[in-house]
C-alpha cells in the first residue's frame, strides 16, 4: 500500500509532507492490527503531555482517535504515525494533527552491532521532530562498519540508541539504564508485562565499562519488542536469546486496545 497522510482529517496528496515544513512538533509511532494497538493509553498520554509542553495547549484526544480510525479504515495491518505540529508560530500556538499510514513493519530478529557515541538529544523525554543527531550518528556508525549508534550521555552513562530503548539482562533481572531517555511505548508496556510475570527489574546507571558484566544486551521499539545486541564497539556480547525470548513472552501478554 502507498503512504497516506491526512491533516486534521483531510487527505493530502501522495507526495505531500506537511511535517517537512517545520522542525517543531512531536509524534508517536504505532503498529495497528485490525483497528487495535498495544499500549494505546501510553500513546495518548505521550501526545497529550508533549502538546502541553511544546504548544501550551490541550490536545483533543477524542479527535486524535477519530482521525486515526478514519485513516486506518478497514486495513488489517498498518504502521501509523500521529504527528502534532503547527504551521503558525504566533501565540497562542494552535496544534494540528497529521496522521500518516504506512505498510506494517515486521520485527527483525537479526542481532545488531553498536558503536558508542557521546550524544544526548534536546528534551530527551519528548519524541520530537529533532532527529538530525539521531540520523547523523546512526549513519556515521554504519559508515564505520556498525549497524547503529549507542548513545552515552554527558555524564558517561549509557542512555538509548538512535530509534531504540536499550536494556540489559543480569541473571534473571532486567536492568533499564538510569539516564534521560525517551520512554518508549514498547519499553513502558514491556515493564508492565514483565512485572505481571514476576520478572525482577531495576533501573540503575550503566556505563560502557559495565557492559561485560551483563548476560545480554537488547534493544526494543515499536517494531521489535526485543532485538539482540551482538557487540558494542569491540566488545563481543553473549547471545541474547534468553532475553529476547523473555521479552517476546512478556509482550504477548499485552492487550490490544481498540482505537
Q: Do the Cβ atoms of 244 and 218 come closer than 8 Å?
A: yes
Q: Mapping DSSP to helix (H, G, I), strand (E, B) and coil, where does residue 68 land?
A: helix
- Structure-block grid coordinates of residue 244: 529476547
Domains of the chain, first to last: 4-102 (3.30.470.10), 112-254 (3.20.10.10)
pTM of the model as a whole: 0.92
The one-character DSSP state at 15 is T
Bridge partners (DSSP) of residue 13 are none
Give, in degrees to the nearest 5, the angle at Cα 127 between 123 and 133.
70
- Per-residue pLDDT at 244 exceeds 90: yes
Q: Do the Cβ atoms of 218 and 167 come closer than 8 Å?
A: yes
Q: How confident is residue 14, by pLDDT bands cut at 50, 70 and 90?
A: low
pLDDT for the residue 115: 98
pLDDT for the residue 3: 74
Query: Which residue matches cell numbers 527483525?
Result: 108
CA gap 245, 215 in Å, rounded: 14
- Per-residue pLDDT at 60 exceeds 60: yes
DSSP string, 96-139: EEEEEEE---------EEEEEEE---SSTTS-BS--HHHHHHHH
Question: What is the pLDDT of the chain when averaged over all its residues?
Answer: 94
pLDDT for the residue 12: 81
- Structure-block grid coordinates of residue 188: 513502558
Give tens-digit pLDDT for 188-207.
999 999 999 999 999 999 99
What is the chain's alpha carbon radius of gyration, rounded to the nearest angstrom? 19
Give tens-digit pLDDT for 224-234.
999 999 999 99
pLDDT for the residue 1: 58
Amino acid at each position: 500500500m502507498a503512504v497516506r497522510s491526512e491533516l486534521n482529517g483531510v487527505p493530502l496528496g501522495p507526495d505531500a509532507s506537511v511535517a517537512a515544513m517545520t522542525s517543531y512538533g512531536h509524534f508517536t509511532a504505532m503498529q495497528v492490527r485490525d483497528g487495535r494497538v498495544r499500549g494505546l493509553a501510553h500513546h495518548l498520554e505521550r501526545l497529550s503531555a508533549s502538546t502541553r509542553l511544546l504548544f501550551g495547549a490541550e490536545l483533543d484526544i477524542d479527535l486524535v482517535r477519530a482521525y486515526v480510525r478514519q485513516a486506518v479504515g478497514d486495513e488489517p495491518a498498518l504502521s501509523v504515525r500521529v504527528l502534532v505540529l503547527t504551521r503558525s508560530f504566533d501565540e497562542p500556538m494552535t496544534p494540528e494533527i497529521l496522521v500518516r499510514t504506512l505498510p506494517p513493519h515486521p520485527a527483525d530478529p537479526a542481532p545488531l552491532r553498536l558503536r558508542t557515541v557521546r550524544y544526548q538529544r534536546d528534551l530527551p523525554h519528548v519524541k520530537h521532530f529533532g532527529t538530525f543527531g539521531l540520523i547523523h550518528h546512526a549513519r556515521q556508525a554504519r559508515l564505520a562498519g556498525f549497524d547503529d549508534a549507542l548513545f552515552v550521555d554527558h555524564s558517561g552513562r549509557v542512555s538509548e540508541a538512535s530509534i531504540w530503548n536499550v536494556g540489559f539482562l543480569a541473571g534473571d533481572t532486567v536492568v533499564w539504564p538510569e539516564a534521560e531517555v525517551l520512554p518508549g511505548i514498547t519499553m513502558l508496556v514491556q515493564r508492565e508485562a514483565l512485572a505481571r510475570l514476576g520478572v525482577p527489574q531495576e533501573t540503575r546507571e550503566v556505563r560502557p565499562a559495565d557492559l561485560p558484566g551483563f548476560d545480554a544486551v537488547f534493544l526494543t521499539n515499536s517494531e521489535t519488542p526485543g532485538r539482540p545486541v551482538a557487540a558494542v564497539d569491540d566488545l563481543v556480547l553473549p547471545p541474547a536469546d534468553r532475553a529476547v525470548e523473555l521479552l517476546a513472552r512478556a509482550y504477548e501478554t499485552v492487550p490490544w486496545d481498540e482505537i
